[in-house]
Amino acid sequence: MKLQADFSLKPYNTFGIDVKAKLYARFDSVAELQELLQMPELRQEEKLILGGGSNVLFTKNFDGIVLQNCIKGIEVLREDDAYTYVKAGSGEVWHEFVVYCLEHNLGGSENLSLIPGTVGAAPLQNIGAYGVELKDIFYELEAVELETGQIHTFDNEACRFGYRESIFKNELKGQFIVTGVTFRLHKNHKLNTSYGAISTTLQEMNIQEPTIQDVSAAVCHIRRSKLPDPKQIGNAGSFFKNPEIPLALYDVLKYQYPTMPAYPVSETMVKVPAGWLIEQCGWKGKVIENYGVHKNQALVLVNYGGASGDKVRALAYDIIHSVEEKFGISLHPEVNIL
Ligand code: FAD
Ligand code: EPU
């Protein structure tokens, strides 16, 4: 384990923001992580756990130690008639885990194909796409407590998953490092093709009886056509969460804006696509110097190269204010602003 000083984080965040960490170390095992946490010279340092850096916006240099999670390995723990339990090291690339499931005919992760980042960060915000969330296949995780170095286990309920939420973003924020995640995958899986774009794409692919591999291919196709590739344009996916508003408020707004889309989340609440709200405020495709709002997806803020994180953050807050002013709806960032 090598400690590196004055370490550039530019290649380690998909926004491509050029900042430095005072100190940096990677860990490849739980033992290495525990050793790092015990080092007397690191005890007082502020710590940031980094996976693939695909859900962070750095606005300044990090004045502490960045610990990069590189714990690898995927193994079947056990199986019964209905399920296979698969454990993945938290530093595995999320999509590599999905590919493992596809190769072993294990259903449940296919709608989550191609989401960037690591397995260990996935429970943090309960990643979701195309009608499925991580919680639907999650069994339990192991995490090391930063303060004590001890290993704790959290089951599905203990993680308190919600829409882009978990206990690790709230009550336990910054207290645990996820080191391994166990998934419960279906042997006899029922596909979820309820998201309109999936069924349309499968039809275009001329597939009548889709397999999990077909659904994954459809999802990859949709994602590649909609979302900018961070290797080409710096971004962190959706910058904001889609706001949930009372149905009564939606009914009022719908009268004023008849094309406003919404999806039911309960009997009294609906979810409104933030991309639509931002587009209506005229931000879609806006370029300011070397950063802006993506031309095809208004929910994605982009760095065309060399932008500073605080300018991107200022843009995000300008967007929040204009949506608030026009619709009276508050947007909240999904991305972790550091
Ligand atoms: P990082 O960005 O490295 O970290 C994110 C946060 O988690 C940080 O606060 C970090 O400190 C913490 N963290 C990371 N690893 C650990 C760990 N092991 N233990 C404890 N804390 C940890 N998200 C979706 O939900 N759905 C999508 O469809 C989606 N699409 C995206 C598309 C694009 C093009 C991009 C760039 C991002 C997208 N995202 C999406 C967001 C992102 O992929 C996910 O949030 C992903 O889980 C982040 O993983 P990461 O390893 O890159 O996390
Ligand atoms: N829309 C617009 N203009 C835009 C973008 C979207 O009007 O510029 C409207 C359209 O009505 C569209 C609707 O928003 O039908 C929904 O758009 P899309 O299907 O692209 O989904 P999204 O709400 O923008 C969410 C997630 C994505 C996830 C997709 C697919 C959030 C914050 N975002 O995006 O997750 O991949 O659905 O399920 O929930 C991420 O979290 O980083 C992310 C990319």
Which residues in the chain land under pLDDT 50? none
Q: How far is the CA of 151 from the centre of ligand 2 (A)?
A: 36
Contact at 8 Å (CB) between 77 and 176?
Answer: no
Q: Please indicate, yes or no, whether residues 111 and 177 belong to a single structural domain of this protein.
A: yes
Among 136, 164, 238, the mutation site with the greatest number of ligand 2 atoms within 8 A of its Cβ is 238
Which of these three, 162, 186, 210, is where a domain ends? Answer: 186
Q: Please indicate, yes or no, whether residues 63 and 87 belong to a single structural domain of this protein.
A: no
Q: Please indicate, yes or no, whether residues 97 and 148 belong to a single structural domain of this protein.
A: yes
* Cβ neighbours, 10 Å, residue 248: 9
Q: Please indicate, yes or no, whether residues 166 and 65 belong to a single structural domain of this protein.
A: no
Q: Model's pTM, two decimal places?
A: 0.96
Cα–Cα distances in angstroms (integers) from residue 206 to residues 117, 195, 307, 309, in the given order:
31, 17, 43, 44
Residues with Cβ < 8 Å from 307, sequence gap 6 or more?
Answer: 17, 234, 289, 290, 291
Considering the domain boundaries, does residue 216 fall inside one?
A: no
Radius of gyration of the chain (CA): 21
Please give the pLDDT value at position 325: 97
Considering the domain boundaries, does residue 226 fall inside one?
A: no
Please give the pLDDT value at position 312: 98
Strands 20-27 and 287-288 come out as unpaired
Active site residues: 164, 238, 334
Domain interval for residue 170: 74-186
Please give the pLDDT value at position 199: 92
Contact at 8 Å (CB) between 18 and 28?
Answer: no
CA terminus-to-terminus distance, the chain: 25
Considering the domain boundaries, does residue 304 fall inside one?
A: yes
Which of these three, 69, 101, 120, is where a domain ends? Answer: 69
Considering the domain boundaries, does residue 301 fall inside one?
A: yes
Please give the pLDDT value at position 285: 97
Q: How many domains does the chain have?
A: 3
Please give the pLDDT value at position 188: 83
Please give the pLDDT value at position 294: 97
Please give the pLDDT value at position 51: 96
CATH number where 130 lies: 3.30.465.10
Considering the domain boundaries, does residue 228 fall inside one?
A: no
Q: Please indicate, yes or no, whether residues 23 and 45 belong to a single structural domain of this protein.
A: yes
Contact at 8 Å (CB) between 107 and 212?
Answer: yes
CATH number where 277 lies: 3.90.78.10
Q: How far is the CA of 40 from the centre of ligand 2 (A)?
A: 45
